[in-house]
Amino acid sequence: MGDIVYNVLSFIVAIGVLITFHEYGHFWVAKKLGVTVLKFSVGFGPTIYKFPAKKSATEYVIAAIPLGGYVRMLDESRDDVSDDLLHTAFNRQPLYKRSAIVAAGPLANFLLAGLLYVLVYSIGNTGLIPNVGAVAENELADRAGFAVGDEVRAVNGRVNKSWDDHHFFLLNQIVSGNDVEFTLSNDGVERNVHIDFSELEDIDLSTDSIERVMGVYPQLPTIRPIVHSVVAGSPADRAGIQSGDHIAQINGESIGEWRELIRIVSESNGETLTVQYRRDKALHNATLNAEPHRVEERTIWRVGILIDVEEQWQNSDLVVKVRLGPVEAILRGFETTWSIITLTTRLLIDLLRFEGSADAIGGPIAIAEHAGQAAQAGLNNYLSFLALLSITLGILNLLPIPVLDGGHLMFHLYEAIVGSPPTERMLIWANQIGFALLLGIMGFAFYNDLSRIF
């Protein structure tokens, strides 16, 4: 129950920030261009709170349903406009002004994402040092000349400070099929190697990581099998294993790393395990049997030993924190934003061509879960999530669907070509189709959400 509340609160904060910034983009440009704004609403439905501006005709509203918002401007199609205010009505503005006001919302989301990424890079990201730990045989990296022990010093001439330092840039290069130069160093000797990503045929980056695509993996910290805690009443608890014990052997097999412990327990199928552990420099033996647990229709065998992987990871010499200076953070922040805009647009195009997986479409439940997970993972993760969501919101609003900003821009393009706006009948039909499309997309997103749960 606590996780659900946390997810919902994280979701409301995220959506509230993004919608407010989006609508403020419309509002700010409209005011700058001399258009009267009657209402600025964050959310739809019943009003929770409202207050009028002291020096303008604008009413500010917070509504009950936090899944959108709107800026209502003075318009002769809806309002009785006095002669002295005709020049401030939205419909009386030249086409370029109306288009600028409509486009300002999505552009504000892109600007917000850029600023959030600048903040993320200024605070600093924790990651692995850029050392190669494994190279898959005969894959792209292997054929290019990557070797275990190499340090990746630069990517296309960009200094590389951590394994994921240029994640989105590299992702964009892979999707674009570009040739990328990597500067590698080993034993003080530098060399340049190239990978031509145009060699790739079918890749799905929604499921395949960059590492799998390239066939190269980072050097990982060794997580020692030191018991952090023991689940009460578990086989390990009943066998007398305690916090601080160092697991040395299981069934005579030496345990140097926690993954080895997990492997042996997972493969035991409940058979008796003889565990040797070290406590206060003395060796002790215990026998126990793993117990089955059902997880997503699979049987997982567990003994109740918990390892603090995060603490050991953070204290490893292989982990580094990369913090950029102001100028570099600004450049990297907006470069990352552009890379994600490009990648998201490609993903949408693939979906429209039925070449991508529609399972990736998520609704409010999925967004709330991701928001909660990102918030629990720390401030930088939550800010990165907000930036990514802001970009997605901006792109979705630019889709040429009536009732969205992209639909209004489509009508403006029609007006620019034909010389007059669409007729009222055309607008009614278009908006009905737009609402039907949105309901269909939202319904499919909810279906995906519920499918993941049930």
Tell me the residue type at 195: I
For residue 268, what are the CA distances in angstroms to 250, 253, 272? 11, 13, 8
Whether the CA torsion 221, 227, 231, 236 is positive or negative: it is positive
Cα 58 to Cα 19: distance, rounded to the nearest angstrom: 18
Cα 424 to Cα 428: distance, rounded to the nearest angstrom: 6
Cα 402 to Cα 411: distance, rounded to the nearest angstrom: 8
Q: Per-residue DSSP letters for 56-124?
A: SS-EEEEEEEEEEEEEEE--TTTS---GGGGGGSGGGS-HHHHHHHHHHHHHHHHHHHHHHHHHHHHH-
Q: Are 148 and 60 in contact (CB under 8 A)?
A: no
Cα 210 to Cα 200: distance, rounded to the nearest angstrom: 12
Catalytic residue, chosen from 23, 181, 253, 267, is 23
CA angle 336, 338, 341 (to 5 degrees): 110
Q: Are 399 and 371 in contact (CB under 8 A)?
A: no
Whether the CA torsion 127, 132, 137, 140 is positive or negative: it is positive
| Active site (annotated) includes residue 260 | no
Cα 156 to Cα 335: distance, rounded to the nearest angstrom: 14
Residues 6+ apart with CB under 8 A from 398: 106, 404, 405, 406, 409
Using N-to-C axis directions, what is the helix angle for 326-352 and 379-397, rounded to 10°? 50
Give the HSE-up count for residue 195: Cα atoms under 13 Å, Cβ half-sphere.
Answer: 27
Which residues are known catalytic residues? 23
